[in-house]
A and B are shown apart, each in its own frame.
Chain A
Amino acid sequence: MTIRLMQGNEAVSWGAIAAGCKFYAGYPITPSTEIAEMLSRELPKVGGKFIQMEDEIASLAACIGASVGGLKSMTATSGPGFSLMQEHIGYAAMTEIPVVIVDVQRLGPSTGQPTSASQGDVMQSRWGTHGDHPMIVLSPVSVSQSFELAVRAFNYSEKYRTPVILLLDEVVGHMREKIDLPEFETVERVERIATDVPPEWYKPYGDSLSDVPPMANFGEGYRYHITGLFHDMLGYPTTRLDEIDPWIERVHRKIERNLADIVLVEEDLSESDKTVVVAYGASARSARHAVKLARQRRTKVGMVTLLTIWPFAEAEISRVARIAKRIIVPEMNLGQLALEVERVAGRNKVVRVNRANGEMVTPQMILEAIENR
């Protein structure tokens, strides 16, 4: 362990290296650029490769291409670039190619306000690309969690053959904090499931017990086809309903069956808490402070921090809703994840605390909501 002082963006970069990232393609954009700068310096040291592409569309395309070639790949961007990347987030979901996309959110829409903080991309990270698809989105609260969740993003991505989005906000991305950096060799790394059948038997999109088909990298003797069209088990385009339906069911099932592994939640609750704050990212930092202040004033209040925001922590929030009378959801947007909390807990229980002007939701705003019964 080495104790260091660093930014969330730096921690994400070290997390990527620790997870075995060997390829980064990106396009400069504030407030994510530190990740590109750091990886352009660090990747060659570990035999990895960095390229600055002509735009964000190309950046994610290059990452997917490199992943097909067997390298763990990542890109990082912010709102405007994230909008451009939606095309290939869908492609990676459709073709089940592991890749990690970091979005350090800034105030939008459009060019918005660089570099003011925001949590405005929560719904876009889930539904930004067209069509039905599962999505894993992780959102760290601290610098050390930025490291941990970057590692997890790679591990989920390889384990489930899916794109994973690491959703930071500008506050966490640029904030400097103490971090205990572990020895990278001790960090758990998950590798994609390789196939062990002879090439003529290999089905790149075949059935498997885990619903995650083994993935052969290009150039390893398994010559197969990859397409963004709906495809059969061999990867060839299909229009057959009996091939489209099983595909869409399987890719959703591979995530839904593993919610216990994927949905990360931190709970600071007691059975008698009638008021609970549910928060994520930088807003969870304000929320924790507000909860601490409220408890000092002997107000009973619980706190749930969502580290995985998609898939939504439905089971956990529904358990909270059975006890709590009020659920307070602070967000640096006009209420995005609050919609999900309302869906699960019911609209009359949810109190939204919103700010979408580039400034953080303050502990005072949340404290007022807690005490304003």
Chain B
Amino acid sequence: MPTQLEHTEYMYLRPTKKFPNVWCAGCGIGIVMGALIRAIDRIGLDKDEVALVSGIGCTGRMPVYMDFNTIHTTHGRALAFATGLKIAKPAMKVITIMGDGDAIAIGGNHFIHAARRNIGITAIVVNNAIYGMTGGQYSPTTPIGARASTAPYGNIEPPMPICELAKAAGATYVARSTVYHAVELDRFIEQAIRNNGFSMVEAVSYCPTTYGRMNKLGTTVDMMRLLKENSISQSAAEKLSPEEREAKIVRGVFHEVQKPEYTQLYEQLIQQVQGLSPK
């Protein structure tokens, strides 16, 4: 049996915070938390130089358990808070953790503008396609036809493609994986944190308590199996027709470019204004 200290994750959990956590048994959010910790550990970041900023919802509760500088903000606004913090502390690794409703519905405006500025923030969006904490209302990523507590006859709104949105808005690293593919998720989050600019990782998860029940998807294990069977790599997706691809969760790094990072540009601006460097 491994002891607690043999798990990397334990080294980053708060000794003072009482567990258990708020999540339902079988929830995927904890897997994203583990992936985030493993990514931070692999990069070898000092705990003092990491800030976790979250919004509201099931995913928003994640930072409290981890031993970093953590701030649980308001619904949808994590990126706006993170923008101020990153500008105040440019050397700090600022990571925002949001759910799909948090990041894309109420926080959609902040999401596209943080991406547009290419500010050095890593945004992790845990997409379980539902508002879990409030009891399973449809979200901007709920698939057409799926049932939710506010879509009792099936959802008629098309879902938002989060990765395409991030890329179009100006993010310089965009990737997607699922909580079934935890090892791949570790790697994408690590690459996202290392990127000098705005990075977005969509972690596709599931909600067994609300979405799973309302859509008769079975147990947690069944939902996990769906993630495995329904998702394909980017190279495999290219061989499919657009219609076939539509039905799949495509995993991979979709976008990776180098562009000037916002806080570095602002430091240059200060140098210019103060006459310390040529215009």
Chain A residues in the interface with B (C-beta under 8 A): 23, 25, 44-45, 47, 49, 51, 53-55, 57-59, 61-71, 73, 87-88, 91, 218-221, 223-229, 234, 236-237
Cross-chain contact A45 with B89 (CB below 8 angstroms)? no
Minimum CB distance partner of A54 in chain B: B113
Task: Let me know if B8 is at the binding interface, CB within 8 A.
Answer: no
Task: Let me know if B273 is at the binding interface, CB within 8 A.
Answer: yes
Give Cα A228–Cα B92 distance, bound, in whole angstroms: 22
Instruction: Point out the residues of chain B lying under 8 angstroms from A91, CB to CB.
Output: 73-74
In the complex where A62-B84, A68-B85, A219-B92 touch, is A45 in contact with B68 (Cβ < 8 A)? no
How many chain B residues have a CB neighbour from A under 8 Å? 40
Pick out which of these stretches binds chain A: B44-52, B178-186, B196-204: B44-52
Instruction: Point out the residues of chain B lying under 8 angstroms from A223, CB to CB.
Output: 47-48, 67-70
In the complex where A218-B85, A223-B68 touch, is A228 in contact with B74 (Cβ < 8 A)? yes
Instruction: Point out the residues of chain B lying under 8 angstroms from A70, CB to CB.
Output: 88-89
Cross-chain contact B70 with A62 (CB below 8 angstroms)? no
Give Cα A2–Cα B51 distance, bound, in whole angstroms: 43
Task: Let me know if B235 is at the binding interface, CB within 8 A.
Answer: no
Q: What are 20 inter-chain pairs, A to B, with CB distance below 8 A? A: A25-B84, A44-B270, A58-B109, A61-B80, A64-B81, A68-B81, A68-B84, A69-B84, A69-B88, A73-B84, A219-B51, A219-B69, A221-B48, A223-B47, A225-B14, A225-B64, A227-B71, A228-B72, A236-B17, A237-B64
Instruction: Point out the residues of chain B lying under 8 angstroms from A67, CB to CB.
Output: 84, 88
CB of A3, distance to nearest CB on chain B (Å): 27
Cross-chain contact A58 with B77 (CB below 8 angstroms)? yes
Cross-chain contact A44 with B84 (CB below 8 angstroms)? no
Q: Which of B64, B71, B80, B269 lies in contact with A62, CB distance below 8 A?
A: B80
In the complex where A49-B87, A58-B113 touch, is A234 in contact with B74 (Cβ < 8 A)? no
Instruction: Point out the residues of chain A lying under 8 angstroms from B51, CB to CB.
Output: 218-219
Give Cα A32–Cα B5 distance, bound, in whole angstroms: 55
Give Cα A62–Cα B83 distance, bound, in whole angstroms: 6
In the complex where A65-B53, A70-B88 touch, is A58 in contact with B64 (Cβ < 8 A)? no
Minimum CB distance partner of B60 in chain A: A227
Cross-chain contact B113 with A53 (CB below 8 angstroms)? yes
- With most chain B CB atoms within 10 A of its CB, the pick from A23, A63, A225 is A225
Cross-chain contact A65 with B83 (CB below 8 angstroms)? yes
Q: Which of B63, B82, B83, B274 lies in contact with A225, CB distance below 8 A?
A: B63
Instruction: Point out the residues of chain A lying under 8 angstroms from B245, CB to CB.
Output: none
Task: Let me know if B254 is at the binding interface, CB within 8 A.
Answer: no
Give Cα A44–Cα B270 distance, bound, in whole angstroms: 5
Total cross-chain contacts (CB, 8 A): 138
Give Cα A53–Cα B273 distance, bound, in whole angstroms: 21
Q: Which of A25, A65, A71 lies in contact with B82, CB distance below 8 A?
A: A65
Cross-chain contact B63 with A57 (CB below 8 angstroms)? no
Instruction: Point out the residues of chain B lying under 8 angstroms from A25, CB to CB.
Output: 83-84
Cross-chain contact A61 with B69 (CB below 8 angstroms)? no
Give Cα A71–Cα B86 distance, bound, in whole angstroms: 11
Minimum CB distance partner of B47 in chain A: A223
Instruction: Point out the residues of chain B lying under 8 angstroms from A51, CB to CB.
Output: 83-84, 87
Give Cα A88–Cα B83 distance, bound, in whole angstroms: 15
Instruction: Point out the residues of chain B lying under 8 angstroms from A68, CB to CB.
Output: 71, 81, 84-85, 88
Q: Which of B71, B88, B110 lies in contact with A58, CB distance below 8 A?
A: B110
Instruction: Point out the residues of chain A lying under 8 angstroms from B269, CB to CB.
Output: 44
CB of B244, distance to nearest CB on chain A (Å): 37
Apart from A61-B77, A227-B72, what are 9 other A-B pairs with CB-CB below 8 Å? A53-B80, A57-B77, A59-B80, A65-B87, A66-B88, A87-B77, A218-B85, A224-B70, A225-B17
Minimum CB distance partner of B116 in chain A: A54
Instruction: Point out the residues of chain B lying under 8 angstroms from A49, CB to CB.
Output: 87-88, 266, 270
Interface residues of B in 91-113 (CB under 8 A from A): 91-92, 109-110, 113
CB of B91, distance to nearest CB on chain A (Å): 8
Cross-chain contact B274 with A45 (CB below 8 angstroms)? yes
Give Cα A88–Cα B80 distance, bound, in whole angstroms: 11
Q: Which of A47, A63, A224, A229 lies in contact with B69, CB distance below 8 A?
A: A224
Instruction: Point out the residues of chain A lying under 8 angstroms from B113, CB to CB.
Output: 53-54, 58
Report B242-279 CB contacts with A as 1/0, cut-off 8 Å: 00000000000000000000000010011001100000
